[in-house]
């Protein structure tokens, strides 16, 4: 009888150890994905030729700090989170994965699995403009993005570019009168900075960010020449959050900050550092030459 109980005990211990190993394995797997790194497959050519459709990229979350949700209630696009301490802040030309910030109603709103990948062109507090299709940053004198692609866009006659792609700038309408080739200086909001709300264009450009932060509707009173927040005058606004301006390397075919505006810092997932593997999206053929391609920004 003792022998039977001994065998049963050993079997039970073995089963427990197996289950413990499985639980630990799952915890390590998902903990790694949440805190250290994850992989994403590139669906479009907006970052071509740097990233191609079918590339599986590794996204390092420890660079900027991993985002941890403090609530799983994403009703109405809400998202509450904290961020672990990262190794560094974002840099110019970092390739980042982020949650697309604009919801179906045209406001900033969170969607769990709706992510984009673009290149950082401006940090919080920068002023960015586009001159002859080239991004010009007030705090960075190097090349942002791919100069050759920008040159090709500049040389493309306006008549060959669809109207909506040419003029729906910063707010996805043509109301501002800007074009994809030439955009006047635009300030990228930084936490704590104060902006004078003395022009209707500022209301249009910063409407999404301010309404997201305050929960109040923003409007321009043309008769009185003033900005209104839920009907009350708003001569100045102090930003509560940091934002980024991002662009795709395929400057003609990328829908990015040039069209829909700024990315809130809370929406940043991580920094792309390499291509893990790559398969042609149609044929499934493996592109071995892209495996392990290093995309680390060493600036």
Tell me which residues are annotated as active site.
Answer: 46, 118
- DSSP string for the chain: -HHHHHHHHHHHHHHHHHHHHHHHHHHHHHHHHHHTEEEEE--SSTTTTTS-TTEEEEEESTTT--EEES----GGG---EEE---SS---TT-EEEEE--B-TTSSB---TT-EEEEEEEE-TT-EEEEETTEEEETTB-S--S-HHHHHHHHHS-GGGS-HHHHH--SSSSSTT---SS-EEEEEPP-TT-EEE--SHHHHHHHHHHHHHHH-S-EEEETTTTEEEETTEE-SEEE--S-EEEEE-SSTTT--SHHHH-PEEGGGEEEEEEEEEEEB-TTT--B-GGGTT-B-----
Dist. CA 134–CA 143, nearest whole Å: 9
């Amino acid at each position: 009888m003792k022998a039977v109980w001994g065998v049963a005990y050993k079997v039970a211990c073995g089963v427990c150890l197996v289950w413990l190993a499985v639980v630990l394995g799952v915890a390590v797997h998902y903990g790694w994905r949440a805190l250290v790194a994850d992989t994403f497959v590139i669906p479009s050519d907006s970052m071509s030729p740097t990233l191609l459709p079918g590339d599986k990229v590794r996204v390092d979350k420890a660079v900027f700090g991993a985002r941890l949700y403090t609530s799983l209630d994403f009703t109405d696009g809400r998202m509450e989170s904290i961020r672990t301490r990262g190794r560094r802040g974002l840099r110019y030309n970092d390739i980042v994965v982020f949650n697309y910030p604009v919801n179906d109603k045209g406001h900033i709103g969170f969607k769990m699995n709706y992510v984009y990948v673009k290149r950082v062109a401006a940090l919080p507090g920068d002023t960015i403009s586009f001159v002859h299709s080239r991004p010009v940053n007030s705090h960075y004198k190097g090349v942002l993005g791919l100069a050759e692609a920008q040159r090709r866009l500049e040389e493309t006659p306006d008549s060959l570019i669809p109207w909506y792609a040419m003029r729906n700038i910063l707010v996805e309408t043509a109301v501002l009168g800007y074009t994809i080739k030439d955009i006047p200086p635009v300030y990228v909001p930084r936490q704590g900075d104060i902006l004078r709300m003395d022009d209707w264009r500022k209301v249009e450009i910063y409407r999404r960010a301010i309404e997201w932060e305050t929960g109040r509707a923003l409007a321009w009173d043309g008769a009185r020449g003033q900005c209104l927040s839920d009907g009350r005058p708003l001569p100045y606004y102090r930003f509560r959050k940091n934002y980024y301006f991002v662009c795709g390397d395929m400057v003609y075919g990328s829908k990015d900050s040039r069209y829909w505006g700024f990315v809130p810092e809370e929406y940043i997932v991580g920094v792309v550092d390499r291509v893990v593997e790559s398969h042609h999206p149609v044929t499934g053929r493996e592109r071995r030459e892209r495996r392990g391609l290093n995309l680390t920004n060493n600036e």
